[in-house]
Amino acid sequence: MKATIETTYKPSTQTDRDRLVLDNIDYVGRILSTMTFFSKNDDHRENLHSAGILGLVQAAASFDAEQGVAFRTFAYPRIRGAIVDELRKQSPISPRMMRHVGKIKRLCETLEPPITPEQLAERSSLPIDVVLESLEAMRFIKPDDWNDLSDVVHQTWRTSIDSPEDLAEKEEIGQLLAELIEQLPEKERLVMTLYYSEELNLAEIGAAMGLSESRTSRLLAAARFRLKEAIRWKTS
């Protein structure tokens, strides 16, 4: 299992900030690995990675551990936001995909939770893989949907110190999430476990499971959508 570096000091010197960046470059790659569906070629991917590194550098420059937030939690939205900004500049989403996204978005607004990818495929008459790609695309088109599952489950990283109520909510939703993960289809559950617990990227997961990176990406997208919908239903 790969160790997650959760920095707990305030980087007061340039050396400290440089160390934060060097220790977390792999984290940029891990975030980027969930966006491979949009990477058209190696040059495109390299530009996205460079944008993510810039977001990491900016996060290291402004990080203050005294606010009670771990560095990777603090850096995540900045890294992802920088990558998304670069994606928007390069306009990777085709008009055809935009039409699919519009159809899926309208269905999501009319169906009762918990919605499943299979429901969306049936109601839209689109192949399930197209539905999953559309769900991923929605996360980049609509700013409110750029958050990762960790932000959907709990958003107290926005506060400086967890209150007793926050800690109780974390424990309650953590237990709910564990139960819901066990109910996922086998391959989706395995991808979730390898990505979130073992901290493998999508290429590594695909190699372990004998799947392509794009197929692994769709399995992760399906799992996250199911969990997000189940949590929305359970907590509404």
What is the percentage of the chain residues whose pLDDT exceeds 90? 28
Q: Which tops the pLDDT comparison, 67 or 51? A: 51
Per residue in 100-133, is it b (16+ CB within 10 Å) or e — as a string? bbebbbebbeeeeebbbbebbbebbebeeebbbb
Mean pLDDT value of segment 205-221? 89
Q: Amino acid identity, residue 9?
A: Y
Q: Give me the pLDDT at residue 185, please.
A: 94
Instruction: Give me the pLDDT at residue 62, please.
Output: 92
Cα→Cα distances 131→122, 150, 219, Å? 10, 22, 12
Q: What is the pLDDT of residue 5?
A: 44
Whole-number pLDDT of residue 70 = 85
| pTM summary value | 0.65
**Tell me, what's the pLDDT at 81?**
87
- Residue by residue, DSSP assigns 145-191 as G---HHHHH--GGGSSS--HHHHHHHHHHHHHHHHHHHTS-HHHHHH
Say which CATH topology domain 1-92 has.
Rna Polymerase Sigma Factor; Chain: A (1.10.1740)
User: Where in the chain are the domains?
Assistant: 1-92, 95-131, 147-236
Residue 176, C-beta contacts closer than 8 angstroms, at least 6 positions apart: 231, 234, 235
- How confident is the model over 71-113, as pLDDT tens digits? 988 898 899 889 888 877 776 677 888 899 899 989 988 998 8
Per-residue pLDDT of 6-58, as tens digits, reads 444 455 578 888 999 999 999 898 888 776 555 556 777 888 899 999 999 99
Q: Which residue has the higher pLDDT, 19 or 196?
A: 19
pLDDT at 144: 46
Q: Worst-scoring range by mean pLDDT, 57-61, 89-93, 141-145? A: 141-145
Q: Which residue has tokens 């909510």? A: 169
More confident residue, 184 or 156: 184
- The two three-digit tokens of residue 98, written as one number: 């935009």
Lowest-pLDDT range of 60-69, 117-126, 165-174, 222-231: 165-174
Q: How far is CA 63 from CA 10, 11, 20, 150, in A?
A: 7, 7, 10, 20
Mean pLDDT of the chain: 79
Half-sphere exposure of 190 (CA within 13 A, CB side): 11
Distance CA 14, CA 20 (A): 10
Please name the fold of domain 147-236: Butyryl-CoA Dehydrogenase, subunit A; domain 3 (1.20.140)
